[in-house]
């Protein structure tokens, strides 16, 4: 999400990382948080269906972001679902907390993004077992944007297990005070950061680091992926739409990207690139990663070529997308593959250092 942007001049691929000396100590303290398992909620891909009952009028009006030390406003709510139409309804108490920056602003979105915060004991034995606090990506303006962003998460899942799992959901919002009519929209439940780490036997890493000091293959893959989807709204050094983890068997930390609503592949009407980048549209691609040797890029390109049929199939087989969007998306992906398949175009796109030094700083999106 594009918020509070500032311009910093840094040559990420040429600077000395001030956190390198801290990594050894951090590694000793780092512990993987569990066994490499997927929680029940994210073990399947089919869409969920559930109802959230709360005072929705208050939630929709809760748009002011609290100061860092101020307590957040918690909205008591109830989530109801049934595993199958013939099963009994399960009701879970929880709190809803409005989150975000760009999408929290009523000028940008008619409905804010939420945290779904469960009491730990209440979810035992349910689909939400072992879940505590989850991000719910809501519909903002249009349901199709939710579906488009969900598919971007699925694309990145194909590249690596070190990625956020996402569960598409049909969510009915019921106003318990009776002041708003019930509304049903698409949403995305995002896997918790600690669960991503646990599933991959790594530890969440909090130290500040520059992209040039992240594991090269991991960072090159993310950078090319963000270029493919047309997303410039991310920064490693500012932890903007990036989480960091540490594998005790590797010398450098690893990055995990998230939050893709400003990607050209999503093509949301409200999305605009940062002015500092001097591009006119989010559909205009710009590589934001470090400069890597051609051998490293070729290794990454080969992975993207191998996944090309899988990537295309996500869109060609998705009947809920509009035909015009599917057509435009295939054309957009075609342009990416033409670039990486042409050495001259690839060199110009991925090894020019004209704009890579610009850091887009976003406020914490939690």
Which CA distances in Å does 101 have to 22, 113, 114, 236, 362?
Answer: 31, 9, 11, 18, 9
Q: Where in the chain is the domain with CATH 1.10.1070?
A: 8-30+205-355
Q: Supply φ then ψ for residue 52, to 5 degrees.
A: -110, 120
Q: What is the pLDDT of residue 353?
A: 58
On whether the pTM is more than 0.95, the answer is: no
DSSP 263-325: STTT--TT----GGG--S-TTS----S----HHHHHHHHHHHHHTHHHHHHHHHT-TTS-HHH
Domain covering 8-30+205-355, topology: 1.10.1070
DSSP state of 130: T
Q: What is the pLDDT of residue 84?
A: 80
Q: Residue 358: which region, alpha, beta or left (left: phi > 0; alpha: psi -120 to 50)? A: beta
Give buried/exposed letters for 210-229 (b at 16+ CB in 10 A, else e): bbbbbbbebbbbbbbbbbbb
Question: What is the chain's pLDDT, residue by residue, as a tens digit (366 residues)?
Answer: 443 333 333 333 333 333 433 443 344 344 444 456 889 999 999 999 999 999 999 999 999 988 888 899 999 999 999 988 788 999 999 999 999 999 999 999 999 999 999 998 999 999 999 999 999 999 999 999 999 999 999 999 999 999 999 999 999 999 999 999 999 999 999 999 999 999 999 999 999 999 999 999 999 999 999 999 999 999 999 999 999 999 999 999 999 999 999 999 999 999 999 999 999 999 999 999 999 999 999 999 999 999 999 999 999 999 999 999 999 999 999 999 999 999 999 999 998 754 454 555 553 343
Q: What is the pLDDT of residue 36?
A: 60
- The total number of residues shown for the chain amounts to 366
């Amino acid at each position: 999400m594009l918020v509070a942007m500032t311009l910093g001049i840094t040559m990420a691929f040429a600077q000395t990382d001030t956190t390198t000396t801290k990594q050894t100590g951090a590694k000793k303290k780092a512990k993987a948080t569990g066994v490499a398992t997927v929680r029940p909620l994210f073990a399947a891909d089919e869409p969920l269906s559930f109802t959230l009952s709360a005072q929705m009028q208050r939630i929709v009006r809760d748009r002011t972001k609290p100061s860092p030390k101020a307590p957040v406003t918690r909205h008591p709510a109830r989530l109801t679902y049934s595993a199958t139409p013939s099963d009994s309804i399960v009701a879970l108490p929880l709190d809803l907390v409005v989150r975000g920056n760009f999408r929290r602003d009523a000028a940008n979105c008619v409905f804010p993004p939420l945290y779904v915060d469960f009491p730990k004991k209440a979810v035992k034995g349910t689909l939400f077992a072992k879940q505590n606090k989850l991000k719910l990506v809501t519909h903002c303006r249009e349901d199709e944007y939710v579906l488009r962003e969900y598919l971007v998460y699925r694309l990145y899942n194909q590249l690596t297990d070190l990625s956020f799992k996402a569960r598409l959901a049909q969510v009915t919002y019921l106003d318990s005070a009776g002041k708003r009519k019930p509304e049903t929209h698409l949403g995305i439940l995002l896997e918790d950061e600690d669960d991503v780490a646990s599933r991959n036997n790594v530890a969440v890493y909090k130290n500040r680091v520059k992209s040039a000091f992240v594991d090269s293959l991991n960072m090159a893959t993310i950078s090319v992926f963000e270029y493919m989807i047309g997303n410039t709204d991310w920064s490693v050094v500012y932890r903007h739409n990036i989480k960091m983890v540490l594998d005790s068997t590797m010398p450098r930390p690893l990055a995990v990207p998230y939050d893709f609503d400003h990607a050209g592949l999503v093509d949301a009407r409200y999305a605009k690139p940062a002015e500092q980048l001097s591009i006119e549209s989010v559909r205009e691609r710009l590589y934001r990663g470090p400069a890597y040797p051609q051998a490293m890029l070729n290794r990454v390109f080969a992975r993207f070529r191998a996944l090309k049929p899988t990537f295309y199939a996500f869109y060609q087989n998705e009947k809920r997308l509009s035909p015009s969007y599917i057509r435009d998306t295939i054309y957009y992906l075609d342009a990416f593959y033409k670039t990486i398949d042409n050495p001259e175009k690839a060199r110009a796109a991925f090894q020019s250092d004209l704009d890579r030094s610009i850091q887009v700083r976003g406020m914490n999106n939690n």
